[in-house]
Structure 1
Amino acid sequence: MPLTVEQRSPLPMGELSDHTRAPGLSRVEAHGSRLLLTWDDDSQAPFPLIWLRDHCACPECRHPQTRERLYLPQEAPDEAVEVEVENGNLTVHWANGHLSHFDGGWLHQRRPGSLPSDAVPKRQPWEEGFSPVRVDHGDFTAGVAGERDWLTALLRDGLVLLEKGPLADEEVSRLAERIGPLRPTNFGARFDVRSKPNPNNAAYTAIALALHTDLPNWRQPPDIQLLYCLENGAEGGESIFADGFAAAECLRQSSPEAFRLLSETPIDFRFQDENHDLAWRAPVIALDEAGNVIEVRLNNWIRDSLRLPVETIDAWYAAYRHFWQRVHAPQHRLEFTLAPGEMVAFDNRRVLHGRNAFDPNSGRRHLQGTYLDLDMCESRLRVLARQA
């Protein structure tokens, strides 16, 4: 009969994530350089002795405060002279006298070849009729649930809205800092989006902004952008968004050669003003080793001179035009007006954004923005999941 959690006395393993709900061990068999472990649910897995020695969680092998590994696996491990299962957990006696204790549930979660569970959701492409999740500012700031819902939607859909927030200067910074440090760029850590004299970027004018991703001229463009609306009384200026990943997959299906060309051909992006000259070369569509789309770099006004072989230029422009049409197709596109007290957050390396032109003489339009790193958003969601 399987042991209850209390009966098997879960052991600390230098982890903050919970492992007490996993089954305990029922038996162990030694097979040369491996141990075959069997759990209360009859599942089995072999563990190499070298893996077990490397993962010992005693204070000699793992720092009790930082939880960082101290053991250095630079030499072949000593042989195990005795192994035993007690209260659902594993004890290994090593030949040099060292003793290792392993929680059975912790080992079950880490069976060789298994994938770790993660609170971070998989990205989901927008389908026709997609509507972004909306979270109240009060729910976001009140506790775990609202912030967790907001982060889950942001990481899954690439776009989420916060509403009913205060009309307070720097509120975007305060909200962002709940997640992690602001990501500075040549526009600063926090920036104001409004029409102003002598602009060094099209965003600081009243003209329409075609769909784009920010700062593709950086080696590492910002991941997450937050835009908080403080004023929006001007005529026009509706915000526009499109799912670049969904558009890229549509291009892959309809025009595979165009998709190949845009994903295999680096082009130049460049931003210049009196104080900066930031340039980088990368393809419009980036893929991982499995061929999955992981990034879109589309920003027509800071695309630099197209330095491609002459025999490739016509085909590249045709592919670029095809992708432009897919990005602007209605099934991939959203348009809405941000109200004062609303904040939109989106994945800048997936979701393209833009706006319609507005008349600065008809009223004031003022957004404040900042960037966050994707790693910090995922980290925060994992911490919230533990707290929940």
Structure 2
Amino acid sequence: MLKHITARPFRAFTVISSIELLQHSKAGTCISISLRNEESDTNLAVPLVWFRDNCRSEDDSATTDSIVNVMEKARISGKYCVKYRFRNAVTYEHDRLSIKWIDGHKSEFYHESLIQLLVKSKQIPKTYIVSGKDLNLGLFPLLISKFILKCKCKIDFSETFSFTDFSRAFSRFASKIAPFHGTYFGDDMWTISNDHDDRDGYRVDVDYTDAELTLHTDFTSFTHMPGVVVFHCLHPAAEGGETTLVDGFAAAEMLKNENPSAFAVLSETPIDHRNEIRDDEYTQSSSTPLVACAYSKPVIELNDERGYAQIRFNPRYRSPLRMNGRGTTGPEEITAFYEAYQAFARTCSDPNMPIMRKLEPGTVLFVDNFRIVHARSAFTGKRQMSGCYLFRDCLLARARLHFDNIPC
């Protein structure tokens, strides 16, 4: 059952009339921003952590991925003075807000872009979706093994050392278990490589480098996220490149037991995700980027029985928390969200949580993208992966032909 709640749109704010520092009783140091449009004025108290998280300068590009330390980074430099002011730490001149942080980094926000980050021009209808019951973590490997036996699908992936060979072999196998879930990577198989000379697998994106990819679920910027991620290694890295898997439901359960207030925030606060693609491969050389957006979904989605339905966790593609000045997203809520988001990230990073494995040619990994958060360690040498996305609902529907204990 879907419930739609639509709020009235309001006129966009176009002018910043003043900016100053203030101390909020619960959110700590904030920057007070006065906005004005044709009809009214409004004051926003924005916590410092919001500015640090939404900094877009090149030397701070890892901030959104490093959510584990965002609260510690969100402190400003300078000597504390009377009237809650920090000398030269925060300035607003020539329509530019500058913030000097305690670690030496400097953030700058220009007038128009700051308003766009802070305030939505209109309200997005909220959609609440009730999903199925909890799934067993061991279900997917068991399902795939069962399908191989039932479908008599005997394919040796150990000899598929090229993308073409694996694509053909896996396409025959996938037709027995679930259809492909297409994305802007393509309708079926894809390949990822950090080798600039690899015409099939290289793109200008952090995924196509040898850098670390922190824990996340894929395609949170899609309203309907792909449910199953398939990974196969065509060429392993010389060193590093391990795949990390964390049970997001187990992490959520641990968070609920150890930090109930943080769990409540992440399960009750709807947030947006957005991804812009500027690669010519996807935009047909257009100057306008390809944009994917998903609105108003919580990080931890629960079903109607308060069981776990889905985890949406991707700091890199999480949209800024916007404030419309009418009390729906105030400074207390923003600070509480960041504290909760950081707590969940730290729970997932607990040494007892992850399973790490270096994939080798011949091993095909199926990941439940509704439940498992995954990562990749940094590596050296060439590393080429192939894979695809599958429809989770179709896989489970076909699995019910062979299993009696798969919930609907």
TM-score range, shorter-chain basis?
Answer: 0.5 to 0.7
Counterpart for residue 182 of structure 2: 184
Tell me, yes or no, if the aligned pair for 1:283 and 1:297 is still in contact at 8 Å. yes
Tell me, yes or no, if the aligned pair for 2:160 and 2:362 is still in contact at 8 Å. yes
User: d(CA) in 1 for partners of 2:318 and 2:195?
Assistant: 23
Counterpart for residue 377 of structure 2: 356
Tell me, yes or no, if the aligned pair for 2:141 and 2:366 is still in contact at 8 Å. no
Structure 2 counterparts to residues 1-388 of structure 1, below 5 A: 123-124=135-136, 141=148, 143-144=149-150, 164=158, 166-167=160-161, 168-170=165-167, 171-189=169-187, 190-197=189-196, 199-274=203-278, 275=283, 276-281=290-295, 282-307=297-322, 308-360=329-381, 364-384=382-402
User: d(CA) in 2 for partners of 1:371 and 1:347?
Assistant: 10
Q: How many residues align?
A: 245
Amino acid at match of 1:295: Q
The CA RMSD over aligned residues, in Å, is 3.1
CA change 1:146–1:252 in 2 (3 A) is farther
Tell me, yes or no, if the aligned pair for 2:218 and 2:225 is still in contact at 8 Å. yes
- Give the ranges of 4+ consecutive aligned residues of structure 1 lying more than 4 Å apart after TM superposition: 132-137, 162-165
User: d(CA) in 2 for partners of 1:309 and 1:292?
Assistant: 29
User: d(CA) in 2 for partners of 1:357 and 1:213?
Assistant: 18
Cα deviation for residue 231 of structure 1 reads 1.4
User: d(CA) in 1 for partners of 2:133 and 2:151?
Assistant: 16
User: d(CA) in 2 for partners of 1:382 and 1:135?
Assistant: 10
Amino acid at match of 1:173: S
5+ long unaligned stretches in structure 2: 1-131, 197-201, 284-289, 323-328
Structure index of larger Rg: 1
User: d(CA) in 2 for partners of 1:323 and 1:122?
Assistant: 19
Secondary structure of the 1:332 match is coil
Tell me, yes or no, if the aligned pair for 1:134 and 1:163 is still in contact at 8 Å. no
Cα deviation for residue 256 of structure 1 reads 0.7
CA change 1:298–1:135 in 2 (3 A) is closer
Cα deviation for residue 174 of structure 1 reads 3.0
Amino acid at match of 1:366: Q
Secondary structure of the 2:194 match is coil
Q: Residues 238-275 of structure 1, C-alpha deviation per residue, up to 9 Å, x if partnerless?
A: 11110000000111111111001011111221110233
Tell me, yes or no, if the aligned pair for 2:134 and 2:309 is still in contact at 8 Å. no
User: d(CA) in 1 for partners of 2:254 and 2:207?
Assistant: 29
CA change 1:165–1:374 in 2 (3 A) is farther
5+ long unaligned stretches in structure 1: 1-119, 127-131, 148-161
Cα deviation for residue 121 of structure 1 reads 11
User: d(CA) in 2 for partners of 1:134 and 1:181?
Assistant: 19
User: d(CA) in 2 for partners of 1:312 and 1:135?
Assistant: 41
CA change 1:315–1:232 in 2 (3 A) is same
User: d(CA) in 1 for partners of 2:383 and 2:133?
Assistant: 34
Q: Residues 135-190 of structure 1, C-alpha deviation per residue, up to 9 Å, x if partnerless?
A: 999x964x31887xxxxxxxxxxxxxx97564333133333222122110111122
User: d(CA) in 1 for partners of 2:337 and 2:318?
Assistant: 13
User: d(CA) in 2 for partners of 1:278 and 1:136?
Assistant: 31
Cα deviation for residue 193 of structure 1 reads 1.9
CA change 1:200–1:300 in 2 (3 A) is farther
TM-score, normalised to structure 2's length?
A: 0.54
Q: Residues 55-109 of structure 1, C-alpha deviation per residue, up to 9 Å, x if partnerless?
A: xxxxxxxxxxxxxxxxxxxxxxxxxxxxxxxxxxxxxxxxxxxxxxxxxxxxxxx
Amino acid at match of 2:184: N
Tell me, yes or no, if the aligned pair for 1:136 and 1:165 is still in contact at 8 Å. no
Tell me, yes or no, if the aligned pair for 1:135 and 1:146 is still in contact at 8 Å. no
User: d(CA) in 1 for partners of 2:257 and 2:312?
Assistant: 19
User: d(CA) in 1 for partners of 2:320 and 2:249?
Assistant: 25
User: d(CA) in 2 for partners of 1:178 and 1:255?
Assistant: 43
CA change 1:228–1:248 in 2 (3 A) is same
Cα deviation for residue 234 of structure 1 reads 2.4
User: d(CA) in 2 for partners of 1:299 and 1:371?
Assistant: 17
TM-score, normalised to structure 1's length?
A: 0.57
User: d(CA) in 2 for partners of 1:349 and 1:368?
Assistant: 20
User: d(CA) in 1 for partners of 2:392 and 2:190?
Assistant: 19
Amino acid at match of 1:280: A
